[in-house]
Amino acid sequence: MESRQSKGRQGEEAAAAFLREEGLFILGCNVRCALGELDLVCRDGKTIVFVEVKTRYGKGFGLPQESVSLSKQRKLTLLAKWYLQRHGLESRPARFDVVAVDFRDHVPQIKWIPHAFDARE
């Protein structure tokens, strides 16, 4: 039986491949700091895109994108600010996307939600 981390990694790999096909450039995967982790950091033209990937393997927990709570949005906002400051990108436009990956039938079904939410304080 696969671990939760292994399943999550598969979802992130599927999401990254999908976003590459859509023309985004992957800047980082699983970017960690003391505050937490960003699943994917991408560039879409001049825009820095922070992508939260949610993966499901069954129907029991609702749609993957429904699990990006307000508290998670706040945490992602802090992580994005840290990333932009660390890389000197504060003047660049940025956005938050969600990629929902559903492996219910062993083939990833991907739903990309650009501009999924605004920065939260």
User: Nearest Cα to 118, choosing from 88, 75, 67, 73?
Assistant: 73
Report the CATH architecture of 4-117. 3-Layer(aba) Sandwich (3.40)
Q: How far is CA 31 from CA 47, 72, 102, in A?
A: 18, 16, 23
Q: Which of 38, 37, 44 is nearest to 20 (CA)?
A: 44
pLDDT at 93 over 90: yes
pLDDT of residue 102: 85
Residue 32 has pLDDT above 60, yes or no: yes
Is the entire prediction scored with pTM above 0.85? yes
Average pLDDT, the chain: 88
pLDDT, one tens digit per residue, over 47-88 is 999 999 988 776 666 665 666 888 999 999 999 999 999 999
Please state, for a pLDDT cut of 90, what percent of the chain lies above it.
63
98 vs 4, which has greater pLDDT? 98
The pairing of strands 109-117 and 94-102 is: antiparallel
Number of neighbouring beta carbons within 10 Å of residue 29? 18
Tally of helices (H runs) and strands (E runs) in the chain = 2, 5
The mean pLDDT value for 17-36 works out to 95
Cα gap 12→30, rounded to integer Å = 9
Cα–Cα distance measured from residue 49 to residue 54, given in angstroms and rounded to the nearest whole number = 16
